[in-house]
Chain A
Amino acid sequence: MKRSLLVFIALLGFPLVMSAMDNPFYVSFASRVIIYAIAATSLNLVLGYGGMISFGHAAFVGAGAYVASICIAEGVTSAWLGWPAAIAASALAAWLIGAVSLRTRGVYFIMITLAFAQMAFYLVNSMKAYGGDEGLTLPQRAELGLGLDLGNEVVFYYVVLCFLAISLYGLHRVMQSRFGRVVIAIRENEARAEAIGLPVYRYQLACFVIAGAVAGLAGALLASHGKYINPNVLHWLQSGTLMIMVILGGVGQLWGGAIGAVVLLGLEHVISDYPIPWLAAVAPNYPQHANLGVGLVMLAIVLFAPHGVAGLLSRRRGA
């Protein structure tokens, strides 16, 4: 808890340092990373704590992103309307998809969540009124009022940071609660959980819906951040990216999703924007294939740090 606070204090200072160094790009980049951290944290609730290997989480990020974008495109620019609408839409989608998918287990669950997400991907692809496969460009970000201009990168940064803090604190609290205890118990031993009188399906579905709602918020933030959204936000590669973030960062670790987002997006950025001279001499195009580097890091994590980066950090503290 103390360490989490220190991390947040450091994150509060980040835009100040970047402004001082005259590097405003990094404030916007950090906002993007934080939004992904929120999305990955929500997936970690399902995947890490709940043990449900959902391969369709992008559907909920995408539903939120599209609903929030459509609101703005239709002239409803208030975040107080658009964001709750995005959250509600994603929660509803998670409820519908979860209600069907959670009747299956194992590989079937992975496949059915993937199938639903791909259906959503093709659905938005065909929504010609909202850009279809070309995507939807927004005239502006959502408006928060309260004298806060979300168009300002620093303000936007603090708003998304605030949402990350709420998400992480919420996850921390929920996992200590009766509900959290049940969710973990189901992951550990589903048959036994049912045999002591717990309606497993209901708890899993509730967990799935909460995660979907938070993913929807991340989607709404993502749409405002880039002022542009396209169907790729629902593509299965996006679901895969979120899974990789959770696995890199630490499955079932509080900070797992956030650390994974930082590591993955950070790596991608460093590999593509800071070419290593000797490597570029041998293979000039390598920065375009950042995924190779990410793949190698992923391999190392899976082999040597099964609890992800967060697991490594807490192990060192324990020693």
Chain B
Amino acid sequence: MLELRRVSKRFVGVVATDEVTLEVKSGEIHALIGPNGAGKTTLISQISGTLPSDRGEIRFAGRDITHARPYERVKLGLARSYQITSIFKRFTVLDNLALAVQARSGSSFSFWRPVSRETALTDEARSIADEVGLHERHNALAATLAHGEQRALEVGLALATQPKLVLLDEPLAGMGPEEAQRMIDLIDRIRSNVTVLLVEHDMDAVFRLANRISVLVNGRLIASGAPETIKADEQVRKAYLGDEVAA
């Protein structure tokens, strides 16, 4: 579904991603792990199009999207969530989600009809809010949500675009154990409809969810394979997993 071929990004003096070749297959949860500064978020931004790649090719659903604008990638079915929460803080939960639904359904060059009367948008926003566990916060301003709720809305925004593939950048970041469990359940639930590329530091979650795991260290992909293979990989252990998993 998603293919990266020798994709690179270099910032002044730093090689952020270095000839990364990676394939995410339809229907899988593919985890991307690696130590801090390994280039995971850079790679996500290259895939979503917010950072142009210096070299390499990105193909999605059979098309070359290397030079496509971010919104064009979303239209093709490639959505992302952010590691640092990025929502419309002065909108309510429903308005946040309705906007994402609106972006996908029909033109927004409609200047006269009040959007609040489009019940189809709000209905769908409501069901997504319920899906991500915000049933009681429909009309709360996004800014007033608790951290975990904002993270849920963050993921909800990505899902509201009805992606074929969703890039989740550390969805569990800063969450308490209960919230984290709910998020893990959510990701587990959506796997039947959506392919997932998951960047995550929580190894329990990664090994519980992932069909395949790729390991990024210093911008290079050092291993890619089934969770058991990765767990047993000597190079990966040395570079990243350490004793955490061995124990």
Interface residues of A (CB under 8 A from B): 173-174, 176-182, 185, 188-189, 191-192, 194-200, 203, 206
Contact between chains at A192 and B88 (CB < 8 Å): yes
Q: Which residue of A lies closest to B113 (CB)?
A: A177
Is the pair A197, B87 in contact by a Cβ cutoff of 8 Å?
no
A173 touches B112 (CB 8 A): yes
Does B235 interact with chain A (Cβ within 8 Å)?
no
For window 97-132 of B, CB contacts with A under 8 Å fall at 99-100, 102-104, 107-116, 118
CB–CB A188/B103 < 8 A: no
Residues of B within 8 A of A (CB): 48, 50, 69-71, 74-75, 79-80, 82, 86-91, 95, 99-100, 102-104, 107-116, 118, 157-158, 160-161
A197 touching B161 in the complex, CB below 8 Å, given contacts A182-B108, A185-B88 = yes
Tell me the nearest residue of chain B to A188, going by C-beta. Answer: B88
> Whole-angstrom distance between the alpha carbons of A159 and B63 in the complex?
56
Q: Is the CB of B70 within 8 A of A194?
A: yes
Query: A265–B116 Cα gap in the complex (Å)?
Result: 37
Contact A196 B161 (CB under 8 A): yes
The contact of A188 among B48, B90, B109, by CB within 8 Å, is: B90
Q: List chain A residues, Cβ under 8 A from B161.
A: 196-197
Instruction: Determine which residue in A178, A182, A198 has the highest number of CB atoms from chain B within 10 A of its CB, and name it.
Output: A178
Residues of B close to A176: CB separation below 8 A: 114-116
Contact residue among B71, B116, B157, B160 (Cβ-Cβ distance under 8 Å from A194): B71
Task: Please give the distance in Å from B103's CB to the nearest CB on chain A.
Answer: 4
Among B50, B102, B111, B160, contact of A191 (Cβ-Cβ < 8 Å): B50
Q: Which of B70, B90, B91, B107 has the most CB of A within 10 A?
A: B70
Q: How far is the CB of A201 from chain B (nearest CB, A)?
A: 9
Q: Which residues of B contact A199 (CB under 8 A)?
A: 69, 71
**A182, B160: Cα distance in complex, Å:** 16
Residue numbers in A under 8 Å from B104 (CB-CB): 196-197
Cβ distance A256 to chain B, nearest Cβ, rounded Å? 17
Closest CB of chain B to A46's CB: distance in Å? 15
Task: Decide: A197 and B80 in contact? CB cutoff 8 A.
Answer: no
Rounded to whole angstroms, the CA-CA distance of A198 and B88 in the bound complex is 14
Q: A177–B112 Cα gap in the complex (Å)?
A: 6
Name the CB-closest residue of A to B117: A176
Given contacts A185-B88, A192-B87, A198-B103, contact A177 B71 (CB under 8 A): no
* CA of A180 to CA of B74, assembled, Å: 21
CA distance A176 to B110 in the complex (A): 10
Q: Which residues of A contact B80 (CB under 8 A)?
A: 195
B69 to chain A, nearest CB (A): 7
Instruction: Kindly state the separation between the CA atoms of A191 and B86 in the bound complex, as whole angstroms.
Output: 8
Q: In whole angstroms, what is the CA distance A127 to B70 when docked?
A: 44
Interface centre among A174, A188, A197 (most CB of B within 10 A): A197
Extra A-B contacts (13), CB below 8 Å, given A176-B115, A177-B115: A173-B112, A174-B112, A177-B113, A181-B115, A188-B90, A192-B86, A195-B70, A195-B80, A195-B82, A196-B74, A196-B99, A198-B103, A198-B108
Nearest A residue to B106 via CB reads: A178
Chain A residues within an 8 Å CB radius of B87: 189, 192
B108 contacts A179, CB within 8 Å? yes
Are A197 and B113 in contact, with the CB atoms below 8 A?
no
> What are 13 A-to-B residue pairs whose CB atoms are below 8 Å?
A173-B111, A178-B113, A178-B115, A181-B99, A181-B115, A185-B91, A188-B90, A188-B91, A194-B70, A196-B79, A196-B157, A197-B161, A198-B103
Contact A200 B71, beta carbon cutoff 8 Å: yes
* 7 nearest A-B residue pairs (beta carbon): A197-B74, A176-B114, A196-B100, A197-B103, A178-B110, A178-B108, A192-B86
Residues in B with CB closer than 8 Å to A206 are 109
Cα–Cα distance between A179 and B69 once the two chains are bound (Å)? 20
Contact: A178 with B102, CB < 8 Å? yes
Q: How far is the CA of A37 from the CA of B108 in the complex (A)?
A: 28
- Do the beta carbons of B110 and A179 come within 8 Å of each other? yes
A195 and B113 in contact, given A178-B108, A188-B90, A189-B88 (Cβ under 8 angstroms): no
Evaluate contact between A197 and B75: CB separation under 8 angstroms: yes
Q: A179 CA to B111 CA in the complex, in Å?
A: 5
Q: How far is the CA of A250 from the CA of B100 in the complex (A)?
A: 29
Residues of B within 8 A of A203 (CB): 108
Complex: how many Å from CA A188 to CA B112? Answer: 21
**A173 and B115 alpha carbons, distance in the complex (Å):** 10
- A182 nearest CB neighbor, chain B only: B108
Q: Which residues of B sit under 8 angstroms from A189, Cβ to Cβ?
A: 86-89
Q: Are B79 and A195 in contact (CB under 8 A)?
A: yes
Query: Is the beta-carbon distance between A192 and B157 smaller than 8 angstroms?
Result: yes
The interface residues of chain A lying within 8 Å CB-to-CB of B75 are 197
Q: Which of A192, A200, A206 counts the most B-chain CB atoms under 10 A from its CB?
A: A192
- A177 to B116 alpha-carbon distance, docked (Å): 8
When distances are taken between beta carbons in the complex, the residues of chain A under 8 Å from B102 are: 178, 181-182
Complex CA gap A185/B87 in Å reads 10
B99 and A185 contact, CB distance less than 8 A: yes
Given A195-B50, A196-B160, A200-B71, check contact A182 B99 (CB 8 Å): yes
B74 A177 Cβ-Cβ under 8 A: no
Residues on A with C-beta less than 8 A from B86 are: 189, 191-192, 195
